[in-house]
């Protein structure tokens, strides 16, 4: 189970890291995915920093249940906010379910 947990943590961390780094480099390509009421590059930077934090937390393996649960919540929030673009955010549903699986594994390990 430790190997499965590590693989899930690394895969989620990669997704968060890629999105964060890309949003720092190409903010104009990402800012449109934010809700209208926070659609600024400042909020995008803030969210990107949150994604970097999540990546580091997931890789660290510290309190994995909480990191995975928060990750699932963030990903489901992205889906709900962008439900009209389901053909793009459908992958986030799979990532959210992976985060939930990681939370279950972490809970079972303790």
Tokens encoding 91: 């992958």
Q: How are the residues of the chain apportioned to helix, strand and coil, as percentages rounded to the nearest 5?
A: 90, 0, 10
How many Cα atoms within 13 Å fall on the side-chain side of residue 94? 8
* Residue 36 confidence (pLDDT) above 90: no
pLDDT, residue 79, reads 96
Range of the domain at 24: 2-109
pLDDT digits (tens, 9 = 90+) for 12-21: 999 999 999 9
* Residue 38 confidence (pLDDT) above 90: no
Q: How many CB atoms lie within 10 A of CB 9?
A: 25
Whole-prediction pTM: 0.92
Q: How far apart are the first and last CA of the chain?
A: 12
pLDDT digits (tens, 9 = 90+) for 42-68: 999 999 999 999 999 999 999 999 999
Backbone angles phi, psi at 43, to 5 degrees: -65, -35
Q: Considering its fold, how many domains does the chain have in total?
A: 1
pLDDT digits (tens, 9 = 90+) for 80-102: 999 999 999 999 999 999 999 99
């Amino acid at each position: 189970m430790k190997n499965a947990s590590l693989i899930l943590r690394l895969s989620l961390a990669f997704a968060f890291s890629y999105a964060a780094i890309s949003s720092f480099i190409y903010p104009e390509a990402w800012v449109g995915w934010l809700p209208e009421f926070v659609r600024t590059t400042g909020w995008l930077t803030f969210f990107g920093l949150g994604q970097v934090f999540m990546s580091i937390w997931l890789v660290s393996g510290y309190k994995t249940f909480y990191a995975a649960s928060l990750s699932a919540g963030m990903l489901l929030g992205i889906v709900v906010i962008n439900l009209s673009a389901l053909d793009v955010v459908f992958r986030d549903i799979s990532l959210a379910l992976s985060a939930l699986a990681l939370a279950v594994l972490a809970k079972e390990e303790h």
